[in-house]
Structure 1
Amino acid sequence: MDWNEDNVSSWLQDIGIKPEHIQKLKAEEVTGPVLLNINESFLKKLGLGGGQIQLLLCKRDELLPEKSKTIKKKGENREEAKHEVVPSNDVTSPEQPLLSSDLKYLTETSVSLPQSRYRKFNDKDEHFTYIKHAILPPETGIDNLVTPCHEYKSLENACKLEPRKLKIKFANEVIRFACACMNMRANGTIHFGVMDKIKTSYKHGEIIGIPIEDKEIFEEALEYIENCFPTHHSDARKCIKTPKFIPVIDKDRQTQNWIVEVDVVPMVNIVRDKLYGARIPKFNEKTNKVEYEHKAYYKRVGPNTPFITEDELVGFIQALKDLDQKREQEENNQNQAQAHFKEDLERKLLVLLTRGKKYMDNTLRYILVSNRFDQENLQNIKFLTQMNIFCVFDYDPDSKSSGLCHNYKECHAVNLHFLRDYDHRENTVDLIKKLQLFDRTSWIFCNGRSDYSGGESPCDEKTWIKTKKKLLKRAVCVICNEILPKGSFVVIFILTSDVEQPLVDTFHEFYAEMSGHEDIIIISESRENYKIWSSLAQVSCSLDVLEQISVVGMPMSHIDATIQVHLLTSHQDGCLPVSNNGVCFIKSVDIDRINSLEVVCVDQCDETNVNVMGQEQIQNIEQYFYQGGKIDWVNLWLADRNECGEVIKRDAYAEINKMLEDLERSDSLKRSIENINIYHEPGSGGSTVA
């Protein structure tokens, strides 16, 4: 049983356990597996009375699994299992209420299915999708009035009916549920295509979806509102939203299934002081006509929608005033909470990029995955030129001539590659040497180049999948497993234009090779682009996790400025001394091209941001050197500025310094390059002297 503490608490509330006992059980971390094994003595220790213990244990026992009549034979495909069909003479009769015994779905099968989450309530997200066989949370009663309750209807058999009967069946369920939500003043969503019974091999809440040939059948079903709410049809129209059709992703099927959802939003200014009764439509097989049940009043009780009995009616009407006040208060609280909530995107961005440090340095390498940059965004990429980028997976065929690669090359030298270059047969060392992977940034054109005539032309999505997807998988595998050690790099996806499937496939490959989402970041200025992205990426990674690793809605100009402020050093053009005691500029792109030399500039390390670095980092640099680590230019620079202790000079320092001074005084026109050889024992400090 995969319930967490909140699921158990909701179930305990539905069966009538007192709130104080529910809190005790939650505090003891009673989850689904614990619930199946608790006994009377445990409950007595928590202070439950005999009646409450008896109620809880009896209802719990109903959850225990029984041998299902539809368990498939060993080795059969799950999709091919026969499902038990419950016959019904009236195809539009209401579904039987969900019984506690039905909740045994959580133990019916040992197959672990992914959890899913709901579409955002009353949101017009055209890009939201569900994954087939994922599990939605258990159907819910009313927690608070603005948090929607949920009800599921599989329509497993009804979806095969002729259009007229299907329309009536859909209206039957929607009207009943909506009437109850309006009377309870509670938001709610009814889902069609989600398993609501445990009469089959499916789990309760499992996303299956239904085939839909004509969406108008479901949209036109709401035309029954006028006849179902004869005195309040205007209110019902305002509260019952139009059906939303959410596609169900299923890699194994060619046909498209859908989840149909209807939101009910009973705003207090619409429902105040009103009790709603509805005449539920049903189809009469004998007369072949639509008939309407007698007017009835409905409510929500746990996950069910029963009608209000005559004995309950007076008390229910008297309680409406309190419900209206509560609804109004919760609407106001929700509006205030939404107005005050602003995610700290700056902090989130830095935590993801630096793994929690206060600054960015060169201890991490970055892999960039991008598509087309427009001209405005290209003006805000300076932060990329300052980062330690190992390689770029670029899906813009024009990148070298007019895109990101073109602008990046103005600051740094790059190696131009294609995916095929990583489909190697030689050993890894030879590949690294051949492609010069650690000499400069590798720019991998994943969908060819428009300016290249060597057989790497851009192609459409379908052709790319046939010809390049395997090469992408190989390239990602080589980089993640053979070239870069795990934990030494971060992968950044920057979504700057329309999201296409190859970009999402790249996410799937990195997610698989890196064994999860750690060290993956998504940056998207456009919220619409991110919605499309997340709906496709959730095949590998849940929406909740995607949100944790995504920075959405932050303009590229803000990202550029934010990262630059927190860089430990910024790469700029340097100054070299010349013979007339002046200086000349050397561009960083030219320094990158000199692989065999390390160029020391007059202003070396002057771009280091000491304020960002902090005293702790300075001490770490100094400590690392004196514990035997390699000397770094910044180590000497900090010593010259008295930011750390003076670097201890080796015995050969004075002699080498005199040699350099003599060379400086000599005629510089004789030779443009001078060599000084230092002979030393390994580990004796020769590199430090140099």
Structure 2
Amino acid sequence: MTSTGKSVIEVDIEPSFIVCDDHFFNTYNVDKNEDLMQEPPAGEKKKNDGKSFFIRDGSSTKNLILSHSLKAYEKYIKDMPHLSLLRKDAEEKHLSAVKSSVQGSKLCEMITGGTQSLDRSHFAWYIVVANKSHPVQFENLSFLLHMDLVALLDFDPESAESSLIKLFEERKTNVHSPDQYKITGAVEDIANKLKLTKNTSWVFCNGGINKENPSDADNWLTEKGSSVRDVVSLLCRKDVLPHKKFLTIFLLFSQVSNANDPLLETFSMFLQELKGQSQILCICDNETSYTYWKQLIKNRYKVDISRCIYELSFAEVNGTVLSLWSENRKSSRFLPCGGGSNVVLSKKTEDSLETLSVLCVNQCDGGNEDKQKHEDMFYKGGKVSWWNFYFSEQPGSMPFIKRDKFSYIVDAIIPDICSRKEACEFFSIFHLPGCGGTTLAMHVLWTLKDKFRCAVLKDTTDDYSTIAEHVVQLLTYETKEKPTRLPVLLMIDDFPDISDVKKLKLQIEEECLKQNIFSKSPQVIIVNCMRAESYEPTDDAVFIGNKLLEKEQELFEEKLKEFKRTNTNTKTFYGFMILKNNFSPKYIQGIVKNTLKGFNFQDKHAQLFAVLVLLHVYCRNASLSVSTCEEFLGLQTKACFEPDKVEEGFERFSTLLTRCTVNSKVSFEGVTAIHYSIAQHCLKELSTLSSKVTKADITNLLLTTDAFYEYALGKQKLMQDVHNMLVRRQYSAEAEDSLFSPLIQHIMNETPKMEEMILQNAAKRCRKDAVIFQLLARYYYIKKSDFTTAMSWAKKAKGLSKENSYICDTVSQVLVRELRHAVFKDKDDPIKPDNLEKYLTLAKSAGEACKETQQTANKEAMTRMLRLKDYNTYNTAGHLGELQTAAIVIQILQKTPLFNCLSQ
């Protein structure tokens, strides 16, 4: 059936010798016009009685029975035995030349990048480009629903009404027009707004959206080509999708025969952006379509495409691709409802909960993941995955090690919280870095996944209101009509401060009220996993230190015996052995010394390793993307399966590194140090080498290397991590410790005066970061007493962020500090008139600056009143600065003759 509703019936007659032998048939024309069917007048005879004899003549047919002669017909009949014999010989030769198709195997190889499994595909993402399809094809396209599609470029203007997008109704898709892909700001911000890598983006490339009319083939390039090129350019950027780790699939549902076809133009765009066809796969279901497509590309672009599947029907393509997924990926996922009942979590709902990673009742069931790979990564020092818990429950495996606080959390803290009244409650797992706090929190969720609806927050920087909406959506899914429901157990990891956890708690409670959810018990319980050096004991918190209890040590010893029984190579299980040895400095130092022998900071891989350990020590969850590391090391990534490519580039240092998944504005795979203690000892060891590599050297390399920031995946997160390392202070009882960040303090102690160069380079790297400029101003007036330079930086900071009262206060602080410094150095008593005038003028300027800070703070407060969900406090710095100025003025006046007389 065609798109117009009409039917076309095609009868393909194959005149093979086996069927026809040497038989022949005549045809007769039957005229249904009654007038013409009347008998001819007397004396006339019907011409040939409508009898015909058709033979094949090239691509058409020829009638040998002519009105004036039958010679050709009679000759053909006479030659029939000979012609039949020739046909028989030709057919037998053809049959002997036929070979079986191997395109099914080729499809498996090309679509997975050589891994033969989509669960472990070389490609992290897929882009699909498709032309007009027909509803009859939909039943053979279900494989698309399971793929990690970052975008689908749809060239069918009728798709929204009756075509391919209808197939995706059970998945969450974001419909876009090509205009939305134009780069008008920071690339990661655009990608985040479009939700690339979070949901499938459906891009209508030839109208069909916003009442836009489609363009014909001859006009498409001039009318719509430019905007579609923006789409292709954005998707192919190295700071959007990992380099050489995505595959573009052209699905030719209908034949492309026009040299100006939009699909052909788009193929050219991808060919240019990807610099070749190694990341392009074309699929059609017949050789004719393939021949047209191949010839058009060859004629126009002088490219002979080889990565094409055309001998398989879409039914065969569908079955082949689906067979590459494990049952775990294709099967339904279930959420608990209480009383042993479950509901299916629809894929569309799960897609919409983009801030959460949902843990289902049947998580990991039916998967074919590599147990050894997951265990190696975890025990080496990588983050635990659900697979580690799953494998530990399988027959013949030792149960997952339960930390000392596990039973207390499950049997005491959570039951106690469940008896409370507020809609949202939280408890905290405080832990030293690398001590297993995150693993403990995930173990709790895994154990309780039948009794709670469990989820992990992907990114702590997400908007709290959006997180709250998703949490409540998970809570109420398929339970809105029920009087009681299972609470949500939400794990959050590494929030900056406990106050942020409380803000999220309030936001969830507000969302519950908004959704008319009233209950006498908590509906959401937050498991707050947070790094801390120490904590104040409370009923709602536990602390995980770096000393194992005797019972825990026994469990670790038992696990080590299991490794030996199974002949597991534990040589690089550093994360496991560090815990087993109670964080023994001697053990850690031995690993580091042995690995860093012959370290040469001039080597690329040594430089990159040093940067990674610095990031790990001074910034939580910091990493560099795999593609950034490959770029820096000069590794040529190929669009095919190459295991451990980056690890090979790091050579012997790779044993101290691991991969991690980073959920930021754009999700990507990163590289980080395996353990906080390992990273700490590495920095210490590097500073004691004969070539002595200091923290200043490494920080300077990080700040001045353009490769880390230009078109790098995760660039904005890296910029934020660098910002935090330089700016974020740790407050303590000793005021001196909190004046600058730990990194700056350590650089000051290790290599005095080098910190100035570091801060100058930071300002060059972060040209639009007002807080970095503020940091420089603070450095110059605190450490250098250089108030002229400090004021210059303070004004630059203010110029970048005039509406920020904290930045505005920097100018007043420079003036107050300058005034205090001048008065302190002035030993004259009584004070000289010239100096008195200078000090009072300076005091006046400081007072005016403080007033300006107060006005800016008042404006901020008024703005916060309009934003109901703004929990920031009022900035009192302007008032404090004014009081400080007044106190200094009093000191000045006490040194004047008048006050001297009064005091006497």
Q: Which TM class, normalised by the smaller chain length?
A: 0.3 to 0.5
Larger radius of gyration: 2
Give the structure-1-normalised TM-score.
0.47
Q: Which has the higher helix share?
A: 2
TM-score with structure 2 length normalisation? 0.36
